[in-house]
Structure formats: C-alpha cells, structure tokens
Amino acid sequence: MDFRITFPGGKRVNAEFGDMVIKTDQSVKSGGDGSAPEPFLLFLASLGTCAGIYVLSFIKSRDIPADGLELIQHNEFMPNEKGIPTLTKITIDIKVPAGFPEKYHEAIIRVADQCKVKHTILNPPEFEIKVVV
C-alpha cells in the first residue's frame, strides 16, 4: 500500500490513499493554522483507535450494548538526555458499560492487545528514506 504525501499550503501535510485523505497541520504555536491534528497526535490516536476497534468488535459480536463503552489512553512523557520530551509509556483503560459481564474482563484486554499498531511498534519495520528525481 502506497501513500501519496502532498503539501496543500501552509504547514499542512496530507496523506492520500485511494479516495481517502488524512489531513495534518501544525499547531498555531508551531507556525501552522491548527486546522488538523499534528502527525504525532495522529500516531498516538492510531494506538487507541486500533485497540478500540478490536474492543468494539468483541462487544458487538456478543450482542453486549456499547453504550458507555470508551477507552481512555494515557500518554506519559519524560525528557530524554537532550531534554526533549519522549514518549515513555502508554496506558489504555477500557471503561466498560454498567452490567458488562465480569467473565469477559480478561478477554477484552487480550482483544485490545491484538492491535496491529502496537505490534508494529514492538516489531518495528526497517526504514529507508531516499531522494528520487
């Protein structure tokens, strides 16, 4: 799968694939218009939304109402040796609806743990960046 990265103006950078476009921008503080999330925020959101689709599918496949279901993702940062804040821990709390069967508590954690984004981070791909004329 290829993404076409385009630059529609200002500090906006888009990722296009098929008929879809993921829009990004920089915050006003960073010189952008704040019209879309910054790429790093999309990366962080991809972790929670990835776990979320697994959790939602688990609930729906068991005909359990999803009213009140939500995931809360906590992102912890610590300064590295250069003083730059670095992501050190991600915690995802799965808030299940009232009446959610306790027998599924461990199963829903295992389901959320199947997130492909998380597994890609744990087994990172090789990166190659090159200039093409």
Contact 64, 105 (CB under 8 A): no
Number of domains comprising the chain: 2
Percentage of residues of the chain with pLDDT beyond 90: 97
**4 and 47 both lie in a single domain:** no
Within a domain: residue 66?
Answer: yes
> Which neighbouring-strand residues pair with 72?
93
Residue 29 predicted with pLDDT over 90: yes
Q: Indicate whether 10 and 65 sit together in one domain.
A: no
d(Cα 25, Cα 19) in Å, to the nearest integer? 20
Per-residue pLDDT, 21: 97
Is residue 46 in some structural domain? yes
On whether both 29 and 62 belong to a single domain, the answer is no
Gap between the Cα atoms of 104 and 30, Å rounded: 44
3-state secondary structure labels for all residues of 48-106: HHHHHHHHHHHHHHCCCCCCCCEEEEEEEEEECCCCCEEEEEEEEEEECCCCCCHHHHH
Asked whether residue 98 carries a pLDDT value surpassing 90, the answer given is no
- The residue range of the domain holding 77 is 42-122
- What is the average pLDDT across 5-16? 97
Please give the model's pTM, rounded to 2 decimal places.
Answer: 0.89
pLDDT tens figures, 48-83: 999 999 999 999 999 999 999 999 999 999 999 999
Is residue 51 domain-shared with residue 21, that is, in the same domain? Answer: no
